[in-house]
Homo-oligomer: A and B are copies of this chain.
Amino acid sequence: MTLASTPSQQSLSAALVDFTAALGADRVLTAQDDLREFRDPFQFETWDENAASAVVMPENVEEVQEVVRIANRHGVPIWTLSQGRNNGYGGPAPRVQGSVIVSLRNMNRVLEIDEECAFAVVEPGVRWFDLYEAITAGKHRLMLSIADVGWGSVIGNTLDNGITYMPYGVDMAMQCGMEVVLADGSLMRTGMGAMPGNRSWHVYKRGLGPTVDQLFMQSNFGIVTKMGVWLMPFPEVYMPIWVRVWRDEDLPAVVDTLRMLMLDDTIRMVPQVMNTILLGSIMTRRERWHQDEGPIPDGVIDAMARELEIGRWIMRAALYGDEAVVDHRFAKIKRAFERIEGADVWGTKHAPEEIPSLAHPAERVQGGVPSLDINAMTAWYGGEEGGHIGFSPIAPLTGRDAVVLRDLMRPMIERAGLDYIAALLPVNARSFAHITMVIFDTKNEAQVRSAYEVSSALVREAAKLGYGEYRAHLRFMDLATDQFSWGDHAYRRFCETLKDALDPNGILSPGRHGIWPSSMRDTATRADAKGS
């Protein structure tokens, strides 16, 4: 793994004095006990390549600006996180060892909820839980499109191109209007917010001139301190639906049917097509099914599929809308999937008020009610603290592409002694993310190493077939971005040009998604990324 230069002890010490003067000693953490919770929870415990040297916790915009100015003055790299729940992709850990983490967990105010135009404005520390609770407490008849696990930050998830599931999750469409602290400590508002007192900052996605919001996603060009989030008015009916097929070879038919139903707007949200082990790992532990070390054989997967009644592939999805429209669409969906032999399609209609009391966590998540229930899957190998790596290439939403990816990944992962655990997430009607959960026991160093090695190999092998990740794990960021080499790395050069112009001292999250400031772009980094 590539390691960039760490800050000198001298500059770090000087910066810590200034951080303490600005924030107070209780908001500058340096004790090993405090730093532990900012490590990647899914690595082997003795690994420390991504250890931070300190954590600072500003509580308002002015303090974030001051932190940035101090970092500039001392040339200390800072790594910003909202909640830092980037699990499976490196968690809160910084790319550069010794970086100072800027945790925005305490900037957690819901600044506004506008019922008329159906949006909220939040700070970075606001979690799915928090925004959901604020909406509920205000008795707003509005729903929030959320991620699977409720502890994540709304802004943090958005800035990682994270996926949510309701209609505004399609193409990650829910973000509108930002306030950003730039590398020089100045403050910018994007879109219509660039005009003082403009009424459309959080209702129109562009401004006059180029739209720069997406520049701050998966990058290190600024620190987002405020963001607009679109909400959906309560529909008349919410209907979670399930489609189950019994043969592995039914996968392409499921995907092709889904594409047609999404292209014609029958399904407009982000479904998940899960394999047996993925859903099974949320419901049970591995030892119930298979006691050997090697990967679970097909016969056992078939047994899981039958006993848990989850099939070889199972799709969760949902309809939202007027009851007449939902009824028509469900009937159409049922007809379409039931052309696949043995397929089952079912669903139940609910009023939006009933969603919090639904039993299945997936049915609550698709209805915008957050929990931690789906996190259970990481304990697949036993214990409380399993880990996973997310490997998530994007592909066209066709049965052919789904089969190519499955047939690439399953053998590689199984050769590494692990199970192929997959969910296909169509983020729009034309493409899907193949979320591969490489799950392992964090106490078993050999297994952890295998998991990281096969994940790294997958990055390269998928790229050879024309599939790139939508989001890269901290340990493979350079490798993953290195695959995007068209035009002799024209896109990376473009990003580096922006980086050097916007952050000349290279202090903001160096290395995030492969973007390095000039001072750290040595040939060693590149060669290592290519060769490792």
For A266, what are the chain B residues with a Cβ–Cβ distance below 8 Å?
Answer: 322
Contact between chains at A467 and B200 (CB < 8 Å): yes
Please tell me if A97 contacts chain B, counting CB pairs below 8 Å: no
Binds B, one of A436-444, A495-503, A524-532: A495-503
Contact between chains at B214 and A212 (CB < 8 Å): yes
For A205, what are the chain B residues with a Cβ–Cβ distance below 8 Å?
Answer: 171, 428
For A204, what are the chain B residues with a Cβ–Cβ distance below 8 Å?
Answer: 394, 427-428, 430-431, 470
For A211, what are the chain B residues with a Cβ–Cβ distance below 8 Å?
Answer: 214-215, 217
Chain B residue nearest to A159 (CB atoms) is B210
Binds B, one of A103-111, A113-121, A286-294: A113-121
With contact pairs A194-B490, A200-B394, A486-B189 given, residues A208 and B481 touching in the complex (Cβ less than 8 Å): yes
Contact between chains at B200 and A431 (CB < 8 Å): yes
Type the 1/0 row for A158-171, where 1 means its CB is closer than 8 Å to any CB of B.
00010000010001
Of A187, A209, A470, A472, chain B has the most CB atoms within 10 Å of the CB of A209
Please tell me if A514 contacts chain B, counting CB pairs below 8 Å: yes
For A92, what are the chain B residues with a Cβ–Cβ distance below 8 Å?
Answer: none
For A197, what are the chain B residues with a Cβ–Cβ distance below 8 Å?
Answer: 466
Contact between chains at A215 and B218 (CB < 8 Å): no
Contact between chains at A208 and B466 (CB < 8 Å): no
For A195, what are the chain B residues with a Cβ–Cβ distance below 8 Å?
Answer: 463, 466, 468, 483-486
Type the 1/0 row for A370-401, where 1 means its CB is closer than 8 Å to any CB of B.
00000000000000000000000011111001
For A268, what are the chain B residues with a Cβ–Cβ distance below 8 Å?
Answer: 265
Chain B residue nearest to A396 (CB atoms) is B203
User: Which residues, 335 to 353 on A, are CB-close (under 8 Å) to B?
Assistant: none
Complex Cα–Cα for A498 and B222 (A): 14
Contact between chains at B208 and A468 (CB < 8 Å): yes
Binds B, one of A3-11, A324-332, A412-420: A324-332
Contact between chains at B431 and A515 (CB < 8 Å): no
Chain B residue nearest to A192 (CB atoms) is B468
Contact between chains at B264 and A235 (CB < 8 Å): yes
Please tell me if A199 contacts chain B, counting CB pairs below 8 Å: yes
A208 touches which of B117, B209, B472 (Cβ 8 Å)? B472
For A299, what are the chain B residues with a Cβ–Cβ distance below 8 Å?
Answer: none
For A431, what are the chain B residues with a Cβ–Cβ distance below 8 Å?
Answer: 200, 203-204
Contact between chains at B321 and A265 (CB < 8 Å): yes
Q: Taking the nearest CB of chain B, how far is it from the CB of A93, in angstroms?
A: 19
Please tell me if A20 contacts chain B, counting CB pairs below 8 Å: no
Contact between chains at B494 and A203 (CB < 8 Å): no
Please tell me if A221 contacts chain B, counting CB pairs below 8 Å: yes
Please tell me if A182 contacts chain B, counting CB pairs below 8 Å: yes
Type the 1/0 row for A463-483, where 1 means its CB is closer than 8 Å to any CB of B.
100111111100000001101
Complex Cα–Cα for A193 and B484 (A): 8
Complex Cα–Cα for A346 and B312 (A): 49
For A401, what are the chain B residues with a Cβ–Cβ distance below 8 Å?
Answer: 199
With contact pairs A188-B490, A498-B498 given, residues A167 and B265 touching in the complex (Cβ less than 8 Å): yes
Please tell me if A186 contacts chain B, counting CB pairs below 8 Å: yes
Contact between chains at A513 and B117 (CB < 8 Å): no
Please tell me if A75 contacts chain B, counting CB pairs below 8 Å: no
Please tell me if A151 contacts chain B, counting CB pairs below 8 Å: no
Please tell me if A263 contacts chain B, counting CB pairs below 8 Å: yes
For A494, what are the chain B residues with a Cβ–Cβ distance below 8 Å?
Answer: 182, 188, 212, 502
Complex Cα–Cα for A500 and B504 (A): 14
With contact pairs A205-B428, A490-B189 given, residues A233 and B498 touching in the complex (Cβ less than 8 Å): no
Please tell me if A32 contacts chain B, counting CB pairs below 8 Å: no
Please tell me if A190 contacts chain B, counting CB pairs below 8 Å: yes
Complex Cα–Cα for A203 and B401 (A): 13
Q: Taking the nearest CB of chain B, how far is it from the CB of A436, in angstroms?
A: 16
Please tell me if A207 contacts chain B, counting CB pairs below 8 Å: yes
With contact pairs A210-B217, A430-B118 given, residues A199 and B487 touching in the complex (Cβ less than 8 Å): no
For A500, what are the chain B residues with a Cβ–Cβ distance below 8 Å?
Answer: 501
For A116, what are the chain B residues with a Cβ–Cβ distance below 8 Å?
Answer: 259, 396, 398
Please tell me if A449 contacts chain B, counting CB pairs below 8 Å: no
Complex Cα–Cα for A515 and B118 (A): 33
Contact between chains at A209 and B513 (CB < 8 Å): yes
For A469, what are the chain B residues with a Cβ–Cβ distance below 8 Å?
Answer: 208
Please tell me if A523 contacts chain B, counting CB pairs below 8 Å: no
Please tell me if A46 contacts chain B, counting CB pairs below 8 Å: no
With contact pairs A263-B118, A396-B199, A515-B209 given, residues A491 and B430 touching in the complex (Cβ less than 8 Å): no
> Other than the known A199-B466, A200-B396, what 4 A-B pairs have Cβ atoms closer than 8 Å?
A188-B486, A189-B490, A200-B468, A210-B219
What are the 10 A-B residue pairs with the smallest beta carbon separation, nearest first?
A501-B501, A194-B491, A203-B430, A210-B219, A188-B490, A211-B214, A194-B484, A204-B431, A203-B431, A199-B466
